[in-house]
Structure 1
């Protein structure tokens, strides 16, 4: 399988995930657009959000996804994140029932307990997808959905841009980034037992270009994608 290093055009100094998101936490909300992830969630036909009683939000970050889930009527949301800085912001937001510092691949949350397992923009930080899908399967109750929002591998290959932020020093810092083809997602998820239910993609369009005019040459390129998986009842 290809490595992101084969496409990296930035060659920024790179830090581990916890260090990177701790450093990004103070400015994260100002640099991430809803079009990347929340707009994709709103397009999905599955899951039936209003029927979800308990959700596990893996890599919950500042609580953006949790807050969106609340607007869909989901009242119990357990969040897990590796970054203490991001968890502090999530606690202040107040969307989650519980928040735990931990790894999305080994959460410590109870087995067979969730109608929804959701993760947004975290899989590019995982060297291997299999442990994530296996942990999501462990957490999910029969009939549950697993929703994963990801950077599109085509976008990563075309732009050679890692996940990164710009600290006060002004020198961009990359957070450990891995490239995963769609086939890797399908293989890892199917091996864990998941059944593919839905796949949708977000393209760079006029809304994006209004915020990022330098991306004009990327118009029409897929930017993010959402996959929905079902655990058979």
Structure 2
């Protein structure tokens, strides 16, 4: 098992997921770049988004992903998140039919009720990937998909940078971060009964450098990864 502490170059004070996102909620939309996740989802070839009548948005946060799914033609989206403050923002956004406060390992959503489950920028906060993959498998009907997108493990290790934000006093605060290798995702997905249908890795390119000029030193390094699993 890879420990993020072995790579941490920042040494920011670290808080748990619920605490961190409750504090980050005010500036979250202004600091998370679509290039990290939504742009990667848009390049996937296997998902036919508009064919999904109902999707489960796992770790829905402020509703960014749910709103994106609706724009792609997904008929209905239910969301689950651990942080009440994030759910308040998602509720105001109005992209979800149902929003549930809960753990991604046991969402309380109906089993076999979804054509699609999606998790975005979630896995780095999980100590163990197994429960997420198993719960997604329970939620998705046969033939359905589970799509997971997040930070590439290589980038977390190379940059030594945890998920973080600036607190109310302007000082950086880190949220519990874990490193999961590509093989960890494959092992967890296969063990849960999924079949891998597509994988895509995105690198730091010109578009990224335009957003974050200081990332020039990471040019061509993998920054995001996405997995498409079929039940």
TM range (shorter): over 0.9
Determine the structure 1 residue equivalent to 2:176: 176
Distance 1:79 1:154 in 2: 29
Runs of 4+ in 1 over 2 A off after TM superposition: none
Local SS of the residue matching 1:132:
helix
Superposed, which structure 2 residues align to 1:101-180 within 5 Å? 101-180=101-180
Q: TM-score, normalised by structure 2?
A: 0.99
Distance 2:165 2:27 in 1: 9
Local SS of the residue matching 1:186:
helix
Superposed, which structure 2 residues align to 1:60-71 within 5 Å? 60-71=60-71
Alignment check: 8 A CA contact 2:41 2:226 kept: yes
Task: Show structure 1 runs of 5+ residues with no match.
Answer: none
Q: CA deviation digits over 1:90-131, x for unaligned, max 9?
A: 011100010111111110000011000100000000000001
Q: CA deviation at 1:88?
A: 0.8
Determine the structure 2 residue equivalent to 1:6: 6
Task: Show structure 2 runs of 5+ residues with no match.
Answer: none
Distance 2:40 2:210 in 1: 18
Determine the structure 2 residue equivalent to 1:36: 36
Local SS of the residue matching 1:201:
strand
Distance 1:34 1:157 in 2: 21
Local SS of the residue matching 2:25:
helix
Distance 1:76 1:25 in 2: 24
Distance 1:3 1:211 in 2: 29
Q: CA deviation at 1:72?
A: 1.1
Superposed, which structure 2 residues align to 1:49-68 within 5 Å? 49-68=49-68
Determine the structure 2 residue equivalent to 1:47: 47
Alignment check: 8 A CA contact 2:50 2:75 kept: no
Q: CA deviation digits over 1:66-108, x for unaligned, max 9?
A: 0010111112100000011111110111000101111111100
Q: CA deviation at 1:50?
A: 1.2
